[in-house]
Amino acid sequence: MPTSGITDVVLFVAGACVGSFLNVVIYRLPEDKSLWHPPSHCRSCHTRLGFVDLIPVLSYLILRGRCRHCGAPFSPRYMLVEAIAGGIAVTAWHISGFAPYYAAGLFATCAALLVIFFVDLDHMIIPDECVVVVALFGLARDGYHLYVLGLGWAIPFAQRIGGEQLTIYLPRSIVGLLVGGGLFLFIGWIFEVALKKPALGMGDVKLAAAMGAILGPGYSLLSYFLLSVLIGAAVAVLLMLLSLKRRGDYVPFGPMMALAAIVILLYTEPITLWLLSWYGYSPG
Ligand SMILES: [Zn+2]
């Protein structure tokens, strides 16, 4: 399918509009409020926001980040989420090779991860609804590959029994889900024994399992975990340098996992190859 600059602009605007809705989800989902009612309003003067206030990115810039009615400042995060969602929509479209269904699935998954990033940052919880979106994308994509490529796409587990070799085939997404979740349960348990306090929440374990369903039990999943740790370490050092956190303060790992997940979903191959190159691997 051909594409053009105009497609990119339309996709950016559409993605930013979804981002505007994601802001509502980030704010209301952890508090179990309805996502649809009441309509968006200023949290300071409670005036219902109109069309002029709700144009993604532009409203924030034109109104200089303030409520048109009472002048209360809006967090720049609203604009940031909208701009990121717009950027992801365009990127997903290009990365999918302009395949609409795949691009839509990739975008929905990254949107769920964006919600996880901010909700975990604010409340230290990872909403199950968002993890389910991530896992479903992995299962659906794997199901499609199985349908097209047959058992060759599945992972064979062979066993010699009664002098005969028997093989069962398991879907990559299912094995990845078990490996990702199991690994995190195990790591969490080790840390809990070593530090004598819980280090990873069940939300982190579920997110690792869901990412395993997408990436499968291979180098990409390993790269994803390494990337999460790298981002986590970088953020921890930055926070300490800026004196925002002290050594030993709790920094939630979920946001790092969500951020690393978005990056690796959009750039699976370059990042996997980049991390493998640290171990002297070069594609030949
Ligand atoms: Zn107001």
Tell me what percent of the residues of the chain surpass a pLDDT of 90: 71
Distance 195 CA to ligand 1 centre (A): 46
Q: CB–CB of 150/175 below 8 Å?
A: no
Please state the pTM of the whole predicted model. Answer: 0.92
pLDDT level of residue 197 (50, 70, 90 thresholds): confident
Interatomic CA distance for residues 69 and 77, integer angstroms:
20
Expressed in angstroms and rounded, the spacing between residue 90 Cα and the centre of ligand 1 is 32
Mean pLDDT of the chain: 92
Alpha carbon 87 to its chain's center: 14
User: How many angstroms separate the alpha carbon of residue 23 from the centre of ligand 1?
Assistant: 17
SS3 at position 251:
coil
| Dihedral-angle region of residue 99 (phi above 0 means left; psi in -120 to 50 means alpha; beta otherwise) | beta
Distance from the CA of 45 to the center of ligand 1, in angstroms?
A: 4
Q: Specify burial of residue 121 (Cβ count, 10 A radius: 0-12, 13-18, 19+).
A: middle
Residue 2 has pLDDT above 60, yes or no: no
The closest alpha carbon to 187, from 178, 198, 176, 174, belongs to: 198
pLDDT at 66 over 60: yes
For residue 30, the CA-to-ligand 1 centroid distance in Å is: 23
Confidence of residue 81 (pLDDT cuts 50, 70, 90): very high
Tokens found for residue 164: 């005969």
Centre of ligand 1 from the C-alpha of residue 78, in Å: 15
pLDDT band per the 50, 70, 90 thresholds, residue 165: very high
77 Cβ contact partners less than 8 Å away, ≥ 6 residues apart: 23, 118
The dihedral of CA 68, 72, 78, 80: what is its sign? positive
